[in-house]
Amino acid sequence: MAAYKGYEPVIGVEVHCELKTASKVFCSCSAAFGNAPNTACCPVCMGLPGALPQLNAEAVRLTIQAGLALHCDIRRTAWFDRKNYFYPDLPKGYQITQNDTPFCTGGYVTIYNKEEKRIHLQRIHLEEDAGKLLHRDGVTCMDYNRCGVGLIEIVTEPELSDPAEVKEYLTGLRQILLFAGVSDCRMNEGSMRCEVNLSVRPVGSTTRGVRCEIKNIGSIQFAAKAAEEEFHRQADILAAGGVIEQETRRFNENTGKTETMRKKESAVDYRYFTEPNIPPVHLSEAYIEKIQRQMPKSVAAWREELHNMYGLNAEDAALVMQTPNIVQFYTEAAAKTKYPKLAANLLIGEVIPQIKEGDPVPVQAGHLAEAADLLGDGEVNSTVAKQLVGRALRGESPAAVAKAEGLFRIRDEESLLPLVKDAIAADPRSVGDFLKGKTAAKKRLLGGVIRQSGGRADPAITEALLDRELALLSDED
């Protein structure tokens, strides 16, 4: 629980996720991102007279899949409603959504903010996305490609009590949806968007303050930031004796502040009523069971496997499990190496930062395993291992590169002894110190050898040789 000026926040989060269907939710147009403007449109999604919606069964399936992944109750009979409002990105003048009968209710996401906490969900419903408006040079351009793309809206109970929990919740939710194969959850492409509802109250109170809604949040980090800013803004106003006005605000990424979008006076009356063009949808027990059986492996199951089979701790497991692609890749590599933990470290440190959101892992699993084996067996040091992974990103085999470029550790006496002797000859002061009983001086000599070898000298063998040579010197005295 966060507290500021004697106030605490009460936070609810709404997330919109575009479903990973090939076509839109009420017509057969492509739902893909990035098509040339207005090339993925038809009479249905453009709302032309007489064109009627056809419900995409795959969109329903994915909605149920999301519900099951989030432990929701699935409604057996549901229908659609019209939400009426005028906006140029909404060709029909209404959005087809589910007001009265969301497909999923209840459910939760477990987060870890110092301790385990369940964030409960109110509902998940299926609806259509609107088009996109591009404002430039005083002109508004309309792109209707996104119009009619299937969207689920996931609404929490207002029970987050710390802006940090917003981040935890969104990260956890995103991971679950990704692993359930429901959405690709790309915030940068708008396939995952979130709104934060926030009010504040005196610490310890059970009252509810006036709520503000923050839209236009572009990333999970910004969501947490927006929640924190809004919390402080409201607390500051109340602490100064002011009152909070109910309003819709937006988050400005440049200033890091929230700002007014519209006041309550201009709140819209959506005139909801049942969509007459889509008959009620009945979901059978068998249908839901089938989806349950075919669910991809859950986040919890993956976490357990990473712990039990590869010994990864929670923190590493979380990093490896950023996307299903990555964890899939990791288990492939981990199965090929004697050192799965090292493979995880190399993956986390060297590969994951190079992966663009949603892209496949740009390394062969075998190459990562090779690098982990070379490192684990002491054939190369960790610096070289990292370099080798870097080369693997370009498709090169770590073992082959190490061999061709002589990057293996130097472990034979023949090569090491001259280096040790050189170091002793080059640093008489350290030798003197050592002989006078300052054992720390040996570390300086050892460092010298390793530096000389370009970091490749095996530290253990080198130290043994150094001990032997220094012992000889001491005998000479």
Partner 1 sequence: MDKSKWDLSTIVGCRKALQAGEISAAELTGLYLERIRQNDSGLGAYLTLCETEAVEAAKRVDEYLAGAVVESNFMEQFLLAGIPYACKDNLTTKGIRTTCASRMLAEFVPLYDASAVERMRDAGAVLLGKTNMDEFAMGSACENSALGKTVHPLDKTRSPGGSSGGSAAAVASGEAVFALGSDTGGSARQPASFCGLVSMKPTYGLVPRYGLVEFASSMDTVCPMTRTVEDNRLVLSVLAGKDPRDMTSLALPEEWYASLKKESLVCGLRGKRIALAADMKRYCDRATAENTVRAAKLLEEAGCIVEEVSLPSPEHALEVYVILTAAESSSNLARYDGIRYGTSGSGDSYREMGADARTMGFGEEVTRRILTGTYALSEAHGGKYFHKIKQVQQNILRQTEEILSRYDAFLMPTTGSTAFPLAVGEKAQDRYDSDRYTVYANLTGLPAIQIPSGGDGRLPTGVSLLGRRYGELELYRLAARLEEMLTGANRTEVCAYGGI
Question: What is the Cα–Cα distance from 133 to 144, expressed in whole angstroms?
Answer: 9
Q: How far is the CB of 43 from partner 1 (least distance, A)?
A: 6
HSE toward the beta carbon, residue 385, CA cutoff 13 A: 23
Does 454 engage in binding with partner 1 (CB under 8 A)?
A: no
Does 93 engage in binding with partner 1 (CB under 8 A)?
A: yes
Question: What is the Cα–Cα distance from 201 to 178, expressed in whole angstroms?
Answer: 35
Of 228-287, binders to partner 1 (CB under 8 A) are 269-273, 276-279
* Residue number, 49 or 406, with CB nearest to partner 1: 49
Does 397 engage in binding with partner 1 (CB under 8 A)?
A: no
Q: How far is the CB of 279 from partner 1 (least distance, A)?
A: 6
Token output for 227? 């929640």
Among the listed ranges 40-48, 155-163, 167-175, 338-346, the one in contact with partner 1 (CB under 8 A) is 40-48
Residue 261 neighbours by CB distance under 10 Å: 16
Burial 357-391 (b: 16+ CB within 10 A, else e): eeeebebbbbbbbbbbbbbbeebbbeebbbbbbbb
Residue selected from 20, 61, 75, 82 as contacting partner 1 according to rule CB under 8 A:
82
Q: How far is the CB of 209 from partner 1 (least distance, A)?
A: 24
Helix 324-336 with 299-310: angle, nearest 10 deg: 20
Q: How far is the CB of 147 from partner 1 (least distance, A)?
A: 11
The pairing of beta strand 247-252 with beta strand 212-217:
parallel
Q: What are phi and psi of 272, to 5 degrees?
A: -60, 140
Q: How far is the CB of 131 from partner 1 (least distance, A)?
A: 10
Among the listed ranges 86-94, 115-123, 168-176, 293-301, the one in contact with partner 1 (CB under 8 A) is 86-94
Q: How far is the CB of 277 from partner 1 (least distance, A)?
A: 5
Q: How far is the CB of 129 from partner 1 (least distance, A)?
A: 17
Does 52 engage in binding with partner 1 (CB under 8 A)?
A: yes
Token output for 45? 């999604």
Specify the DSSP element, H or E, that contains 305.
helix 299-310
- 166's CB contacts (< 8 A; 6+ apart) are 11, 13, 160, 196, 223, 224, 227
Of 135-174, binders to partner 1 (CB under 8 A) are 142
- Note whether 120 and 165 are within 8 A (CB): no
Does 88 engage in binding with partner 1 (CB under 8 A)?
A: yes
Distance (Å) of CA 195 to CA 17, 147, 236: 12, 20, 22
Residue selected from 94, 103, 302, 434 as contacting partner 1 according to rule CB under 8 A:
94
Among the listed ranges 15-23, 50-58, 225-233, 368-376, the one in contact with partner 1 (CB under 8 A) is 50-58
* Residue number, 54 or 219, with CB nearest to partner 1: 54
Does 86 engage in binding with partner 1 (CB under 8 A)?
A: yes
Question: What is the Cα–Cα distance from 322 to 175, expressed in whole angstroms?
Answer: 7
Residue selected from 5, 14, 46, 341 as contacting partner 1 according to rule CB under 8 A:
46
* Residue number, 242 or 280, with CB nearest to partner 1: 280
Q: How many residues bind partner 1 (CB under 8 A)?
A: 30
Specify the DSSP element, H or E, that contains 309.
helix 299-310
Site residues, partner 1 (CB under 8 A): 43, 46-55, 82, 84, 86-88, 91-94, 142, 269-273, 276-279
